[in-house]
Structure 1
Amino acid sequence: MISLLLMAIPVVGLIMLFVWAFSGSTNPSKANYAKAGLLWAAIVIVIYIIMAVALLPAIISSLNSSSYY
């Protein structure tokens, strides 16, 4: 329960995931859960970067082509 509350805090949660995933004294279940959480975070970040790179030219183009009265 405390683990989930710590993970809800943005920066602290990410740091704790690294600590739990790569610490030798952590329960194996929690270590696997933390590794899975880090994997999901990496997947989401990659998808976000791909979408930003794909949509940014369209947004810039629409801003440049708009006319002001």
Structure 2
Amino acid sequence: MNTNVNPGANVNYANQPQSAPILTVKDWLITMLIMIIPLVNLIMLFVWAFGGGENPSKANYAKATLIWMVIGFVFSIMFVFLFAGALGSALYR
């Protein structure tokens, strides 16, 4: 009978093999170069995030970037409506 309450307590993760290769500086430079090209960046973010077969680090980066883009888009829309409402209110008094 195993009486160990926390079976993973004695695991040394430093000696475990990596499941994915580390992205090099060159890989990140190419990624950043792709990210500055309009429309291509959005398409590639979806490919990296949900395409499968991509390095988990790059997939997580793409998902986080997409989340930030959605947050920025929502705040932009809110700002436009608030500004338009304030402007309309000031003009039609």
Give the superposition deviation at 1:63.
5.2
| Corresponding position: 1:32 with 2:78 | no
What is the identity, as a one-letter code, of the residue corresponding to 2:73?
A: I
The structure with the largest alpha-carbon Rg is: 2
2:48 matches 1:20: yes
Q: What is residue 7 of structure 1 aligned with on the other side?
A: 35
Secondary structure in 2 aligned to 1:50?
A: helix
SS at structure 1 position matched to 2:57:
helix
TM-score by length of 1: 0.83
1:50 and 2:78 aligned: yes
Structure 2 distance, partners of 1:47, 1:59, is 18
How many residues align? The count is: 65
TM-score, normalised relative to structure 2: 0.63
Aligned amino acid, residue 9 of structure 1:
I
1:12-47: per-residue Cα shift (whole Å, max 9, x none)?
A: 101100000001110000000000000000000000
Percent of aligned pairs with the same amino acid: 52
Give unmatched runs, 5+ long, in structure 1: none
Q: Distance in 2 between matches of 1:29 and 1:58?
A: 43
In structure 2, stretches of 5+ residues that fail to align are 1-28
